[in-house]
Chains A and B, each alone.
Chain A
Amino acid sequence: MNNSPFVLQPASVRSVMVRVLAALLPGVAAYVHFFGASILIQLGLASATALGTEALVLFLRRKPVWLFVSDGSALVTAWLIALTFPPIGPWWLIVVGTAFAIVIVKHLYGGLGQNPFNPAMAAFCLMIVAYPLLMSQWPAGAADFATQMRLIFGNRELDGLTMATPLDALRTALHGNARTTVEAVTGSGPVFGYLGGKGWEWIALGYLAGGLWLLQQRLITWHLPTAFLAGLGLCAGLAHLANPGLYASPLFHLFSGGTLLGAFFIVTDPVSGATTPRGKLIFGAAIGLLTWVIRTFGAYPDGIAFAVMLMNIGVPLIDMYTQPPVFGHKIRNKGKGGHP
């Protein structure tokens, strides 16, 4: 190196990505505990697909294959896809989704750092639009491993093995029956737990633990998770206050679906998200608002993916209008020469 600085902090894209993967482990552990080992199969399928397609596209683009395959970014995308897709979906569902994320959403836009959309969320949106039924079949508790393998790789006889997610179940029940209430639904169904869905609430706590560790590691800032959770919680809270029979409580929203995974691992994707402090607050809060709207009034089991994609579009605009003041150009400095 001919120019200063001649010393660099020991940091790398790989170390960032590896720490993000490590932060997902508590959530994964809870997942395995409550819903069996099938999620590990899905994680393996997604990882293999991501690394394979990444290497292939890098080769075709004449880029240094090992340098980029080993940066860990494809693995993060793969794991997020696996953790948002149903764990007993057929093998090709996650393979197609992951390949789409890596080849189309990431590399056709220029590869690492260039994609305007969150690859994992784009894959989720594609597959839920294309295969709404398959994407809505979630396990009813931890089936034995052989059954899970059969569901993923072979005969998909689903009787009694799947059910809708808590969010889906609640929405369907409320939509179908004008007289029922949130309390009646969540108090009775087998999918509902203390805070959100049975089992899911523990997985969510696992993600929360990992996310707090990411904060402690200073890999993410507080702005995005806080704004997102506040946006979602506030909408849910106001609606719940207005009509508790029709609208689920904020706690239910925060511990259901992908809320906490989204707050710390998806909304915080730096490449496709807002980057300025104020921009992060706007971006996160808007995703929270849209998530609640889509969950409550939409037709899909969760709204985070669509909300993230919608707000990804707005990122350049948000960043442009939220540039922080530069040193010496802050308003408090103006016309006050000589006074601090």
Chain B
Amino acid sequence: MLRRLFAFNGGVKPPTHKSSSTRAAIATLPLPPELVIPLHQSIGGTPRPLVRAGQHVLKGQLIGAADGNISAAIHASTSGRVVAVEARVMAHASGLSTLCVVIAPDGEDAWVECRPVPWRSLPGDQVRDLLRDAGIVGLGGAVFPSHLKLKPGPGSRGSSKGGLRHLVINGAECEPFITCDDMQMREQANAILAGATIMGELLGAEEILVGIEDNKPEAVAAMQAASGRLGERGGRIQIVAVPTRYPAGGAKQLIRVLTGIEVPHGERSTDYGVQCFNTGTVFAIHEALEKGRPLLSRIVTVAGNVERPGNYEVLFGTPMDYVVARAGPKPDTDRFIMGGPMMGYAMPSRQVPVVKATNCILVGSPALFPPPAPEMPCIRCGECAKACPADLQPFEMYWHSRAKSFGKAQEYHLFDCIECGCCTYVCPSHIPLVDYFRFAKSEIWAREREKDSADAARDRYEFRQHREEREKEERAARLAAKAAATKARIGIDPSAGGADTDDQALIAAAIRRTQSATTDLPPAGESGT
């Protein structure tokens, strides 16, 4: 079963710090006094709230309906009373607020009725809708709605069956400190592989490749054992240990390592005959289809500056400090980071809730993550280019981003940057390169939005001009008709000689009047449409 693996360029090998949080089994937490469940927890539209303050909800009850197809539903993580539906600070570096459903648990943890989904007998679209309404999103951190990725896709070129060649299950977990996928694979290998088998059938995949970094031998062994137990049905599944090198767990990098296929930025991987899901997502899909349970919790690693690093199954909406308290934060803790040290975000507050994207709460301290040395000028040493897994030239992008010549930055493929942080990690001048790229991207997006709104404003303005012109003409015609009628009433025979010219003069005068009247009007606001 030796499989030829492919390498991606670049990458780095930061200290992994994984062993300390894998000593104990995944623990469950007692119910917190309050759950703050943000309605917007995935890529795409913000779900509409379906509950009001004062209402009682059951565990698993839908509280936010998916807004359109690019969205995923939100459910009550436990039973209790809705205290409020209001804006709270969200788990995002910006510190902005978002609409949340606040639930006071009643301690019963009473479920709504859950029925397994007969997915095999249902049409694909219906299964995908069910997954959307079960709130399934990518749990590797990107929280992209999973149902959108479960379409076999028209372009499975190179495939004999019109399905997918490779279904890649991502258990690489390359970020330092994070071990939630590792622990879940050790403890739930059967369910993960059962889920993978279901997805393989939904997608018509020829083979299922589970990629796990080789620094997780226990997870590899557990998954291989589970694959063996599947017997005949596990024939399409291969558990592959991949070399440990950050960011091997990036979807594109893992696809490259396992299949040799490079999916370009902005293109669908199904067009290349491959699709990739995180192990946690696969487990969630299994729960949703085989047990009918929506996504209510996830495994969260608590690591870093704590006495007892470990993994916890955490209900969405649980405040982070409630989770961290179990692990014993050390006194010099200065921040919570959501995610790992390479790509995580420092949280604006310690009370922000755990959401679907929270794979890890990394507890920081000045000693653990010291401030970097002062930024020096770029010496073009090219270390960043050597480390870049997207084969970019970060120092060139930095140069142009810094100069705010965003067009040039885009020519150097700014948007192919996956913000993995390798360039910043290796830079001898301590330049926060990724920050410059995030800045440049957000500036470009802001400008595009500005241009879009300017275009819309111009369209509105032009339409108003057009409408006013039309109304002017209509009014003039109306007045002229009225004048003609008046003339007829006072006895001028329209057929008599000279009447035509009189008539025309009257009409012309009426048009002049209306025109001067409209031009004297004060300019109307843009809300005229």
Whether the Cβ atoms of A327 and B339 lie closer than 8 Å is: no
Compute how far the CA of A302 lies from the CA of B256 in the bound complex, rounded to whole angstroms. 49
User: B424, A8: Cβ atoms under 8 Å?
Assistant: yes
- Tell whether, in the assembled complex, residue A5 and residue B434 are in contact, meaning their CB atoms are under 8 Å apart: yes
Interface stretch among B229-237, B257-265, B453-461, B521-529?
A: B257-265
In the complex, the answer to whether B12 meets A326 with C-beta atoms within 8 Å is no
With A9-B12, A275-B380, A275-B395: A326-B337 Cβ-Cβ less than 8 Å: no
Contacting residue for A270 out of B272, B274, B342, B381, CB 8 A: B381
Cβ contact within 8 Å between B157 and A333? no
Contact of B430 among A8, A273, A324, A340 (CB under 8 A): A8
Inter-chain CA distance A338–B156, complex, in Å, is 7
Q: Would you call A13 an interface residue if the criterion is a C-beta within 8 Å of the partner chain's C-beta atoms?
A: yes
Residue B198 is within 8 A (CB to CB) of chain A in the complex: no
B338-351 interface mask toward A, CB cutoff 8 Å, 1 = contact, 0 = none?
01111111100000
> In the complex, what residues of B have CB within 8 A of residue A329's CB?
264, 413, 416
Q: For the complex, what is the distance from the CA of A306 to the CA of B369, rounded to whole Å?
A: 47
In the complex formed, the residue of A with least CB distance to B416 is A326
For the complex, give the distance between the alpha carbons of A339 and B438 in Å.
Answer: 33
Task: Name A310-324 residues within 8 Å CB distance of B.
Answer: 319, 323-324
Asked if B345 and A326 make an inter-chain contact with CB atoms under 8 angstroms apart, the answer reads: no
**Which listed residue, B176, B395, B413, B428, touches A13 by the CB 8 Å rule?**
B428
Residue from B264, B271, B344, B390 within 8 A of A4 (CB atoms)? B344
Chain A residue contacts of B377, Cβ below 8 A: 111-114
Contact with B along A1-30 (1 / 0, CB 8 A): 111111111011101100000000000000
Does B393 lie at the interface of the complex (its beta carbon under 8 Å from any beta carbon of A)? Answer: yes
Least Cβ–Cβ distance between B190 and chain A, in angstroms = 30
Q: Is the CB of B157 within 8 A of A330?
A: no
Residues of B within 8 A of A275 (CB): 380, 382, 385, 393, 395
Across the interface, name the chain A residue whose C-beta is closest to B422: A5
Do the beta carbons of B252 and A327 come within 8 Å of each other?
A: yes
A327-B264, A340-B6 given; A5·B159 CB < 8 A = no
B342 touches A5 (CB 8 A): yes
Contacts of B14 in A (CB 8 A): 7, 9
Name the residue on A nearest B376 (C-beta).
A13
Q: Is the CB of A67 within 8 A of B264?
A: no
Interface-central residue, A324, A328, A333, A339, by most chain B CB under 10 Å: A328
Contact B158 A337 (CB under 8 A): yes
Contact B380 A113 (CB under 8 A): yes
B-chain residues with CB within 8 Å of residue A160 when the two chains form the complex:
none
A176 within 8 A of B: no
In the bound complex, do residue B343 and residue A5 qualify as a contact, i.e. CB atoms below 8 Å apart?
A: yes
Q: What 1/0 flags go to A62-90 for Cβ under 8 Å of B?
A: 00100110010100000000000000000
Q: Does A271 contact B (CB under 8 A)?
A: yes
Give Cα A15 to B430, complex, Å: 13
Check B342 against A7 for contact (C-beta < 8 Å): yes
- A216-259, CB < 8 A from B: 221
Q: Which residue of B lies closest to A335 (CB)?
A: B157
Point out which of A9, A111, A112, A337 has the most chain B C-beta atoms below 10 A from its C-beta. Answer: A337
The size of the chain A interface, using a CB distance under 8 A, is: 44
B319 interface residue per 8 A CB criterion = no
- A328 adjacent to B435 (CB under 8 Å): no
- Contact call A5/B424, Cβ cutoff below 8 A: yes
Query: Given known contacts A326-B390, A327-B390, A339-B158, is B264 in contact with A333 (CB within 8 Å)?
Result: yes
Identify the closest chain B residue to A337 (Cβ).
B157
Task: Give the one of B12, B265, B382 with max A CB within 10 A.
Answer: B382
Do A7 and B369 have beta carbons less than 8 Å apart?
yes
For the complex, give the distance between the alpha carbons of A336 and B155 in Å.
12
By the criterion CB–CB under 8 Å, are B262 and A11 in contact? no
Flag whether B331 is at the interface (Cβ < 8 A). no
Contacts of A8 in B (CB 8 A): 372, 424-425, 427, 430
A6 near B337 (CB under 8 angstroms)? yes
> In the complex the two chains form, is B383's CB within 8 Å of A11's CB?
yes
Which residues from B are CB-within-8-Å of A336? 158
Q: In this complex, what residue of B is CB-closest to A71?
A: B376
A338–B157 contact, CB under 8 A?
yes
Flag if B265 contacts A328 (CB, 8 Å): yes
Asked if residues B379 and A328 are in contact (CB atoms below 8 Å), the reply is no
**Distance A324 CA – B416 CA, assembled complex (angstroms):** 14
- CA A304 – CA B451 in complex, angstroms? 52
Chain A residues, CB < 8 A from B381: 16, 270
A-B contact pairs, 27 of them (CB 8 A): A2-B93, A3-B438, A4-B341, A4-B342, A4-B434, A7-B14, A8-B427, A9-B14, A11-B427, A13-B376, A16-B379, A64-B374, A73-B379, A271-B379, A275-B380, A326-B390, A327-B262, A327-B391, A328-B252, A336-B158, A337-B158, A338-B156, A338-B158, A339-B158, A339-B261, A340-B259, A340-B260
Known contacts A2-B93, A3-B93, A4-B345; can you find 13 more A-B pairs with CB under 8 A? A3-B434, A4-B342, A6-B364, A8-B430, A9-B426, A67-B376, A112-B379, A113-B376, A270-B379, A270-B381, A326-B413, A338-B156, A338-B157
- Residue numbers of A with Cβ under 8 A of B are 1-9, 11-13, 15-16, 64, 67-68, 71, 73, 111-114, 221, 270-271, 273, 275-276, 319, 323-330, 333, 336-340
> What residues of chain B have their CB less than 8 Å away from a CB belonging to chain A?
6, 8-9, 12, 14-15, 93, 155-159, 165, 176, 252, 256, 259-265, 267, 271-274, 337, 339-346, 362, 364, 369, 371-374, 376-383, 385, 389-393, 395-396, 412-413, 416, 421, 424-430, 432, 434-435, 438
Which 3 A-B residue pairings sit nearest by Cβ, starting from the closest? Answer: A338-B158, A340-B260, A328-B264
